Amino acid sequence: MKKELQNLRNKALKELARVKDLSAVEAWRVAYLGRKGTLTQLLRSVGQLSAKERPKVGELGNRIKEELQTALQARIQELEKEAQKVREAETLDITLPGRRPPQGGLHPVTRTLNEIIEIFTPLGFSVYEGPEVEWDRYNFELLNIPPDHPARDMWDTLYIAPPYGKGQDMLLRTHTSPGQIRLMQEMAPAPLRVLIPGRCYRYEAVDPTHEWMFVQVEGLAVGKKITMADLKGVLSHFARQMFGEELKVRFRCDYFPFVEPGAEMAIECFVCHGPGCRTCKYTGWIEILGAGMVHPQVLRNGGYDPAEFSGFAFGMGVERIAMLKYGIEDIRYFYGNDLRFLSQFR
């Protein structure tokens, strides 16, 4: 009987050490210490022993029972501590600061476009977005560029439908100037001041200064007694707001079919401030946009009487303004989807 009790003790302790959770511990207790457990049944048979063996075997049995009960309580405490550690590891601590999701930022072209709009809005300019798919008559003919005009060579046009003639050809707009005609026809004879931003498309060879798709902003003001002085004042204000209050500006004659007279606007090189450097191609000046007084024929096409109304228009490439403002040397960076470049503008 003594040997049987010792074997039972060793077996029970080994099984208890292998128990991994509290439910298995309870099953072990029932199997060995329960009312029908192995040790309980064995101790009940002590009464069948002789009077001489009974005390010694009974004492050994009680000692083993106490040892197993003590081991049971110790194992329960170990498993409870382990379970608590697991719960703490898996529990969300709401007192800790959360992980911030990665934040994006505005594209540098969008950022620059917003700045341009913010400069012109206080001057009374509203914003209009025309269609990117345009008719030839709006993109060229009504802007004083008939089919045989040599100025059409300036635009490498992307046509998207078979040629129908008489201004019915469909194309991807090459500039935002078609918005001038659409707005004038809609607003005439009321005065207007508007910015026309949007994407333009040309069949260009892509290089550091040219892209086949770019964003342009067209400005148009039509009213009575508008002069070249108004144009110069508005654009000088824009340049100084965008690039610096002390900036010098320069206007020189240039040709655009839809304005008369036409001009190019340049700003003083903000790198060398005059002597000449690589940025300004050693001229001291950087051209930023083209402008001029709206051609009388364009006014007529828009529904305005040039004897009563006058106006000015200007157009600028947003990418060029961004390149100058942020010192970017290659226009292809804007649309290369390189996060190392784009994340600098967050």
Query: What residues are labeled active site?
Result: 155, 175, 202, 216, 259, 313
Give the contacts of 293 (CB within 8 A, at least 6 positions apart). Answer: 227, 228, 231, 259, 260, 261, 310, 311, 312, 313
Q: How far apart are CA 33 and CA 16, in angstroms?
A: 12
> 264-293 in b/e burial notation, b at 16+ Cβ within 10 A?
bbbbbbbeeeeeeeeebeeebbbbbbbbbb
For 269, phi and psi rounded to 5 degrees? -60, 120
Cβ contact 82:20 at 8 Å: no
Nearest to 117 by CA among 221, 242, 213: 242
* Euclidean distance between CA atoms 104 and 343, whole angstroms: 8
Amino acid at 99: R
Q: How does DSSP assign 182-231, residue by residue?
A: HHHHHHTTS-EEEEEEEEEE--PPPBTTB-SEEEEEEEEEEETT--HHHH
Map 52-84 to HEC letters: CCHHHHHHHHHHHHHHHHHHHHHHHHHHHHHHH
Q: What is the Cα 145 distance to its own chain's centre?
A: 39
